[in-house]
Structure formats: C-alpha cells, structure tokens
Structure 1
Amino acid sequence: MSFVNTTARSVSRPDDLVPSRYALRVGDIEVLVISDGVFSLPAETLATNAAPSDLAAWLRDRFQSPDAYKWPLNVVVVRSGGRTVLIDSGVGAEFPDSPGVGRLASRLDAAGIDPSSVTDVVITHLHVDHVGGLLADGLGGRLRPGVPIHVAAAELEFWASPDFSRNTFGGFPDVLRSAEERFVEKYRSQLRPFEAEHEVAPGVVVRRTGGHTPGHSVVRLASGGERLTCLGDSVFPDHFDHPEWHNAFDHDPEEAVRVRVRLMQELAATGEPVVACHLPFPSLGRVAVAGDAFRFVPSDWDY
C-alpha cells in the first residue's frame, strides 16, 4: 500500500486543522513528511550572534512575534525496497507543558502507518526533539523488538562526554543531556553506528555532515534519476537569508555555518528538492542562490 493511497483514504480527527502529512515520490521511493507539531521558543534561539535589531527585522518581515518563534517539527517516513524507514521521532512526551508538539504517534495512526511496520530508524542527531518520540510508549513502545537504529558513530562518541561550552543551547542543556542518556540506555543494543555514510534501504543513504552536532547527518534519497535530501537541522528558516547566524542549538557554531553553506551551495547547483526538520510544514522546496545568501523556494503542493 502506498503512502499516497493510505493518505487519501485515512480520516483525520475532528480537532485536526489539517491532516499534517504530505506524501510524495522520489522515483520508486515513497516519502511521507509528518508534522510532530509546532514548538514555541524564545526568538533569540534562532540567532545567538545576530544584532537584536537585525533579528527583530527578520522576524517582523515574516509577521512573527519579536519574543517567541514558532519552530515547526517535521519527521520523515520512507518506503523503499520493502523497507520502511523512520527518520527521527519528534519530541514525544518530553515537554508536557507544550501540547502543540509530540503528536507524531497519533499522526502516524491517522496516516495508517503502524509503528511495528518500521524496519529501520535513522536518527540525524541525538537532540531531544529527534529522539524524544522513541522514549514514549505511544511510538517507542510500539516498534518491533530489536529494530535497528542508525546513527553516526561520531554522534555517539560526542554524547558519551559532551562539551556544552560553545553555545547557549537555548537554556536547555540539561534536557538535551537527559534525553540522550535515556535514549542510549534504552536502545544501546539496537544502535547501528556508521562512520561516513550508510545505505539503509535501496537509494536511502544517511551521510554524516557534522556541524549542528559532531555526528549530525543528512539523508539522501535517489531513485529513477530523481533525488531528495532530508537536511535534518543543518538549516533553519533564517539561514537562507543569514547563513552566518548561529542557532542556539549548534554545538560548534562556526562549523555549523561551514556545513550549511556547503550544503546549500551543492543543493542550489543540483536544483534537487529538500525537506528539513524545522522549515514550515511540509518543508518541501528547493534552494536558490540570492547574491551572497540563499533563497528557499517552496514547492507547489500536489493535491
């Protein structure tokens, strides 16, 4: 059963404003982008090195509050060659006072996807909004026993003794550390570390980029001459206009800038579509060069 057919026939709950899922194909690979919700954080977490007036102007131009920015949280499910790959898992129940997030489990159900059908999990990096879903029974408790979880070896090595000295981490370093420790403890026997890259399913390759975290990874999809890159947290909405801005959750801000600029230059050259964890849902679009910076060109929805 394809994602397109599943999505077309499933029924959303009456309190859902929209189905919060978007299906597409990359050649023979089926892709489903699912929203885990929207998380409100202090606006300064977007750019710790920006002049306050510049950040305020950027937010004002987008009709966003100068005090709090609404972070979209997106998760991707991929089907290829008989395998179903979950890319990241949202925040789960880690922020009980933020009811707008942690919705992945219910939205997988609404899309007709049984977590027990997942054959592989890819974690782009070990931040709480990427591993939290696997700590909650609604999702983690329903996965098949022993499902392999692919994560860069450099990420696991970093978190064994993390260095939090280079940035503010939005005031959440203890939350980040706690989620990572519980995740590794729970899934240690299922972790499948890779060095540079690993093909998880036909045409589904996870590749370590570093930057946002030492083992941060992107996922490249390729099939039938078509391509798509899942960017994880290498790019946030403000980085197209200001790739030099440091996100509060970049563990090595300078390296994060180098990685995102290199990635966006590559993607602008190829013209291939992208999705990302924190771009507005469904986050599907392309990267274009705009002078010394970039432009995000959202793809038209097919419906």
Structure 2
Amino acid sequence: MNLQNTAAPRRTGHEELVPSRYAVRVGEIDVLIVSDGVLPLPTKMLGHNAEPAARAAWLNDMFLPTEAFDWALNVVVVRSGGQTILVDAGLGLDPDLNLPRAGQLIKRLAAVGIDLAAVTDVVLTHMHMDHVGGLLIDGVKERLRPDLRIHVAAAEVEFWKAPDFSHVNMPAGFPDALRAAAKRFAKEYQSHLRLFDEEAEVAPGVVVSRTGGHTPGHSVVRVASGGDRLMFAGDAVFAVGFEHPEWYNGFEHDPEEAARVRVRLLKELAATGSSLVATHLPFPSVGHVAVEGDHFRWVPVFWDY
C-alpha cells in the first residue's frame, strides 16, 4: 500500500463528504431519509416568544451560534405495496432567495438511483415552499408520471387561497415567497391533487393524518409494519421543541395550536416508542422521544451500517 496515495481523499467535484441519505427498515417497508440541504435562518425563529436570554442559553448549551444557523431540510421516500412515495419535495430553486446549499433533492434522488418516473405518490405535510419547491423546478413535472397522486389535506389547499400571516415571525421576503410558491404549486398540480379531510391511507401501512397548527392543513405521516412504527412529523417538531415545546416557531401560522400539537405528538411518540423523523431536525433526524420531568428529550438512534 502506498500511503502517499491514501493519505487524503480524492475529490472529483461530484463526491460529497457529508452523508445525504440514510436508510431505515420499518418492518417490511423501506424508508429512505434524503437531505435537501440546509437553510440558514435567524435563531430567533426557533422561539420568538421566548426571552432572548433563555433562547441564547439554550443555543449556548447546544454549542450553536446565537444569531443564525443552518436548519436541516429532510425529505422521506417510502416504498410499500409496490408504491414509491415521496413525502415532501424540498425547497427547489428560488433565485430570489439566494439559498445555494438547499434544493438538493432532485440530484440526490438521481444519485441514489430513484427515477422521478417511478414515484407513484407524493404526500405533502404542508405547502410551505421548502416542502413543495422541488416539484416546481423547471423540467421536473415533465419527468413525473401522468397519473401521479399528490396527497394533501383539503384544509391546506383552502388556506393558501388567502393565507393569513398575522401570527408568523419570518424574515423579510419569506411571506411573499411562500405565497407565490403555494399559489404556483396549486395551479400547476391541481389535476394531481388527492384531498383528504382528516386521514388517508396512501399505501399499505402508510397513513397521513392532519394535525393543523403549523398550518391549518399540516399533516404527519405514520408508517407501520409488523411491530415497527415511524412518524414523519414534518414541521411539528424542531430541535428546541423537546425542551421547550411551548416556544413558538417563526413559521407557525397558529403558534398556540402548533404548541398543543407538538406536545400531543411528543407524548404519543414517547408512549409508543415509535421512531421520529422530522424535516428540520439534524440529518438524518431518526430518533426516539423520552419524557424527562415536565419536558421531553430527543434520543438519536445509533447509525446502523
């Protein structure tokens, strides 16, 4: 062995040194978590109703910067009963926002060998642009199946006809970008939408359920097979939400209800032992929830190689 040839990794320009996908088996169902990249945002958005000193203390305890840091963007692919289901679609490419490290989903699906034409169903936890934007990239729609089914809560589609931003706390430009992306998505994919009121079975063992809170139609996806359970919680749970579920996230359109939903889901996860995956938890975000006094604790899984 020539140590001079192995001392440093060779970079071709196409290799990624940071993992961007992680596979999980839920009984007989395959789940793949794919990173859409990261989204730099002000730390105030983690809890805009919290005292600044308390928020700064939590960030310090987590070894995070106090002003802004990178939020993970996680998407899930589920294979069950002959169906390939994409849960959320990432940020896409909005040139007005200048977010070059996000919007990686389409190329990462290709890298793992998932053809867009093989996707039978899309489930949207909600219609914020970091969950629908990947479907709005030029050329993507033409690569999708003509019979693609997109499952989304009826309340979500209705909300974006005249969205209320009076309770959010977002950086400038985000409300307009969110409104424009949702409007464009609803127009371009109207014929593919499969609306549900409270709950729908998308495939064997894959159920989407409306929670509300973050947005009126925000939903979570539960995957169950054999004795295994996994919940994709979308934007109902953030990293700070285990210790401080009462803190309001800046993207929540009904923050009081979102906090109630968060506590209910965390209690469910702790009681059932189900695995948790969420959009903005650090990749790959797979873990469990434990109760610790009057709050919760996130327990990341040991990576399975």
Q: TM-score, normalised by structure 1?
A: 0.94
Determine whether 1:108 maps to 2:126: no
Query: How far apart, in 2, do the equivalents of 1:30 and 1:138 lie?
Result: 27
- After superposition, give the CA deviation of every residue in 1:240-276 in whole Å (9 maximum; x if it has no partner): 0100000000000000000000110111011111100
The answer on whether the counterparts of 1:41 and 1:71 sit within 8 Å (CA) in structure 2 is yes
* Deviation at residue 290 of structure 1 after TM alignment: 1.0
Aligned to 2:121: 120
1:239 maps to which of 225, 237, 241? 241
1:267-286 map, 5 Å: 267-286=269-288
Determine whether 1:291 maps to 2:293: yes
How many residues were matched structurally? Answer: 292
Q: Label 1:116 to 1:13 Cα distance change in 2 as closer, same or farther (>3 A).
A: farther
Q: Which letter does structure 1 place at the counterpart of 2:216?
A: P
Aligned to 2:94: 94
Structure 1, 209-218 or 89-98: larger mean CA deviation: 89-98
Aligned to 1:168: 169
The answer on whether the counterparts of 1:210 and 1:217 sit within 8 Å (CA) in structure 2 is yes
Query: How far apart, in 2, do the equivalents of 1:106 and 1:13 lie?
Result: 14
- After superposition, give the CA deviation of every residue in 1:80-121 in whole Å (9 maximum; x if it has no partner): 000000000000102562211100011001111001100000
Aligned to 1:146: 147
Q: Label 1:141 to 1:92 Cα distance change in 2 as closer, same or farther (>3 A).
A: farther
* Deviation at residue 139 of structure 1 after TM alignment: 3.8
Q: TM-score, normalised by structure 2?
A: 0.93
Q: Which letter does structure 1 place at the counterpart of 2:118?
A: S
RMSD: 1.3
Structure 1 gaps, min length 5 = 1-11
Query: How far apart, in 2, do the equivalents of 1:52 and 1:134 lie?
Result: 37
Structure 1, 169-178 or 249-258: larger mean CA deviation: 169-178
SS in 1 for 2:209: strand
* Deviation at residue 18 of structure 1 after TM alignment: 2.7
Aligned to 1:37: 37
Query: How far apart, in 2, do the equivalents of 1:141 and 1:249 lie?
Result: 31
The answer on whether the counterparts of 1:84 and 1:118 sit within 8 Å (CA) in structure 2 is yes
The answer on whether the counterparts of 1:49 and 1:245 sit within 8 Å (CA) in structure 2 is yes
Aligned to 2:230: 228
SS in 2 for 1:295: strand
* Deviation at residue 170 of structure 1 after TM alignment: 3.5
1:207 maps to which of 192, 206, 209? 209
- After superposition, give the CA deviation of every residue in 1:20-51 in whole Å (9 maximum; x if it has no partner): 10011101100000000011111111111011
Aligned to 2:254: 252
The structure with more radius of gyration? 2
Aligned to 1:6: none
Aligned to 2:195: 193
The answer on whether the counterparts of 1:133 and 1:140 sit within 8 Å (CA) in structure 2 is no
Structure 2 gaps, min length 5 = 1-11
Q: Which letter does structure 2 place at the counterpart of 1:293?
A: H
Q: Which letter does structure 1 place at the counterpart of 2:67?
A: D
* Deviation at residue 144 of structure 1 after TM alignment: 1.4
Query: How far apart, in 2, do the equivalents of 1:208 and 1:101 lie?
Result: 26
